[in-house]
Homo-oligomer: A and B are copies of this chain.
Amino acid sequence: MTERNATNEHWLRQVTTPLGQARVPCSQCSMQGVCEALSGDDDDKTFVRRGRLGSGQTLFRAGDTFHGIYAVTSGAIKTYAILDRDDVQVVDFHFPGDTVGLDALDRSAYTYTASALTETLVCRVDVDNPHIPIERRQDVQDATIRALGEQLRHEQNLSILLRKQNAEQRIATFLLSLAGPSVWAPARGVDLQLPMSRKDIANYLGIAVETLCRLFKRLQDDGLVDSQGRHVRLLNVAALSELAHPAESTEVETCSV
């Protein structure tokens, strides 16, 4: 149970901001402190730059020379591998506060392709050059290791989800993770504006688009969500949570009455 909670806790933490929130402050960013530490010291030595991506625009491609990591401040990014012509694999979605490109930190090239799902703002932190301060500053090292650790645990949790949960549970978990901390205070339902297509979601969750659709419908019919295309409202967060990680009701069967 402790484990279970820990797992879910991290899923929720991955998305530090509810979808729709415009901008994330630096204090909530997974690279916290790095930007302040690296920018503004010197005119010529600014290692942090802000950038803007239009919807669908590519940030970098798998195999491109690594030149730094990106922190998302608004919008959304997807990273994906191109396995074949006509066969891609979405590896992750990145929301405000998340970092993109961490998995290439120790390499000369990016591992996956990263594209914006909507208009997106990013902070680029240069780390391509071994001479720049980021390699030397203790606070930056710490932030980097923390970000890597978080990302690693996120990926481990995803692996667990892919082995243990069926399609419906995956969807419930996914929706709750997108909602982020908002689920703790579901005033009158939680509104989500999904930045990605059904196809991307299905691909990410490892299920067929048709299955995703049918299960969305089932959740809708059961009154758990209200789904209008990319606008989804979570109507019954408690029931969704129950779906995502069913209670270990070995002895607590009175609950169901």
Contacts and interface: CB of A to CB of B under 8 A. Distances in A.
DSSP class of A's interface residues: helix, strand, loop or mixed? helix
A20 to B, nearest CB: 27
Contacts of A153: 103, 111
Contacts of A6: 62, 111
What is the oligomeric copy number?
Answer: 2
Interface stretch (A117-125, A139-147, A184-192, A233-241): A139-147
A1 B206 contact: no
Interface stretch (A31-39, A48-56, A155-163, A171-179): A155-163
A45 interface: no
A84 to B, nearest CB: 5
Query: For the side of the interface on A, what is the size category?
Result: 35 or more
A159 B152 contact: no
Given A106-B150, A136-B138, A248-B85, A91 B156 contact: yes
Contacts of A1: 84
B106 A2 contact: no
A83 B3 contact: yes
A182 interface: no
A63 B2 contact: yes
